[in-house]
Structure 1
Amino acid sequence: MSFLPPWVGLLLALLLLLALASGVLRWGLARQARGLAQTDAGEDVQSQARRRIQQQHMIDLDAALAEGRLNASQHAAARDDLMRQVLVDQVPVGTAVQLGDQGATVQLRWGWILLLLGALSGLTYGQLGSPQTWWPVPLSQLVQISAATPEQLAEQTRLWQQATQKRPDNAEAWLTLARLQAAQNAHDQAEQSLARVLALSPEPDLWIERAQMKALSSGGVYTGEPWQWIHNVLREEPRHLNALVLAGSAAWSEKRHAAAQTYWQRALSLVPASSEAAQGLQQALSQVSPEALLSQGAASAPGIALTADTRPVIQGEVRLSPVFQKQIAAGSSLFVYALAEDGSRRPVAIWRGTPSAWPVSFALSDSMGMGAPPVLSSLAQVRLVARISKTGSAQRQADDVQVELPGVKTGVQGVVLDITGRSP
């Protein structure tokens, strides 16, 4: 697979066209010069022949006058006619100038042709050679999901599942389905869909996305295949931004703060200083700095893990409608987790319990995060999700019930999550 954009090929073709036009121009001028030289040579031979004939004719006229075959007046008239003929046969004055002007005209004509070719090349590149048109958009950037509500997510998931069944070789359909599944916290299903995408379109960004889904489906554990996929991408592209960011998060989750700092610093060097990405990375780096680790209770000796803050950041209760209370089997698990409002579906805090009576109280803290920034207390507001799982699986199942509550400010107490319907 070539990494050269198609407009490079267009530019090379245009340069080749200009070189060819220049060569044709030089060949045409050289040929014109040879033609002029041959014309001059031919005219010299003809002129010499005419002069010899005219000289012989003059000799014959003089002989006729001497022999009495012509009188003086006849001889003068014949001589005048011959002299006029000689003058007519001579090359007119200014012929060389005219020939030079003709060569200059040819040069000017070829110059205009070359100029027009250059202008045409520039216009062609301007219309067809722009990076926006000729640089192919990666599949990972092409696919966006627009669904926002649970109902929309469920409906679009159903439609794209049908699309993948009808067109199993359509990578765009599989990626859309994967992202819809990820938006519903079905990380295991999303990872499997991404595997189908990568079989059709093995982009580095998609490998990183799959590594994240694989880790989320394993409870935030990157050991094994997620780390292997991250390392594979970084081995091929050491400056891959998404790989460096996820590598930092994975190292942070394993309490390897120095490694996380190294990865995030490398990522920070790749983004504009004023960008949102730079701000996020600077925030993450501030949490792994030696000063931050010490202030949060980390030991000064290397290798000692960070002690997370266990103080509640959000407190509240989960209520369940009487209709569903009768359907929930004993031993079912209740999950309450907080999501960042920026659209990311990676929980920043997870609480789990086994309710025996309703309502159920819960409390979320920084210690309940997945080991990677941002932490719950660093966000101004979050989206809360409460889900009941009969199987106790961290992955959402078809018969789970849940509720989502957006715009919950951190530091609040008394939040109520009322489950009245089945999750899509």
Structure 2
Amino acid sequence: MIDFWLPAGLLLLVAMSFLLVPLLRGRKAQAEEDRTALNVALYQERVAELQAQQAAGTLTAEQLAAGQAEAARELLADAEREEAVQRRLGQWLPLASALLVPVLGLGLYLHWGGLEQVNQTRELAQMAPRSMSEMTERLEQSVKSRPEDPEGWYFLGRTYMAQERAADAAKAFAEAVRLAGREPALLGQWAQAQYFAQNKQWSESLQQLTDEALQADPEEVTSLGLLGIAGYEAGRYADAVRYWERLVAALPAEDPSREAIQSGIARARQQLGDAAPVVEAAPAPAAASLKVRVELDAALKDKVQPGDAVFVFARALSGPPMPLAVKRLTVADLPVEVSLSDSDAMMPQLKLSKFPQVQLVARVSRAGNATAGEWIGRSAGVSSQSTEQQSVRISEADQR
């Protein structure tokens, strides 16, 4: 932690210098000047009173001289007392200030600071994850430190599913739904995780989730695929064919999973004794491809490092919060022109072409975390079918 505490200590010394240097240099001189001016004014006022009394005939010349001498002695005595007090204050006040500033600063940081987040960022930046289990641990740490981040919970759920930890994935997707809302894609993922966590036993709650997802989005592919699987496993082959045919129609023409799904449809038809040929899917929507120029604001060039990760992604303006298409670069690559298309989709069911309006985002993350970083740039809403080059300038602090 020396790379954190050393700069913090240096900043503290600078802050103390602003307090102590003027105090030590100017306080004594200013105090002496003010004290002397006050005492002289009092002395002059007393002498003027004595002279007025002597002019009025109430004091003799000898009494005037005696009064002036007494006023002079009081002026001298006051000066000596003030000097002693100033000497005592000058010894203790700077020392008390020097002790109070670091103690107060440390207390405020421990209460409101982010030492845990600093430690986590340092650990993430030291090395990339070398295995799926290490990636899982980091995602678990991320949602623990940022429990209100729906993207973190979503990616954790996907990771759990890849590890066949369906029960844990269901809990993660439940949190993502709670935070991001009941988006159809999230409901489908949640239902799928619950289905496998329940040993492929269909239930009324799963039916309600998939019905809700398909009511909001009739082409929600996870729900369609899950209903087809559940129908096939339960011997309801007609339902399997019906849902899988809808799924094939919703998938882009280049999707590699189309062939496997059509094979499943053929097997289900064989079980039904139906020799009719498989119906070809309806034409898929035109594939989307956005051209984006990403630039770094000149004011940030001294605040980033060439090796810092840059994530360029598109997300739906109205829809799931997860990125639809992502590319990873580094600060050294900027400025750069990239293309985001359906082939860059993180999930087959979440493609650019399925969402009419998207927002383009570029995030700088020294820790290599796509969901949180130091600097960010965002575009206004753009059409996913736009052919014009879009521009994103990274210029703001990432407040997520």
From the CA coordinates, give the structure whose radius of gyration is larger. 1
Q: Please, what TM-score do these two structures have when normalized by structure 2?
A: 0.39
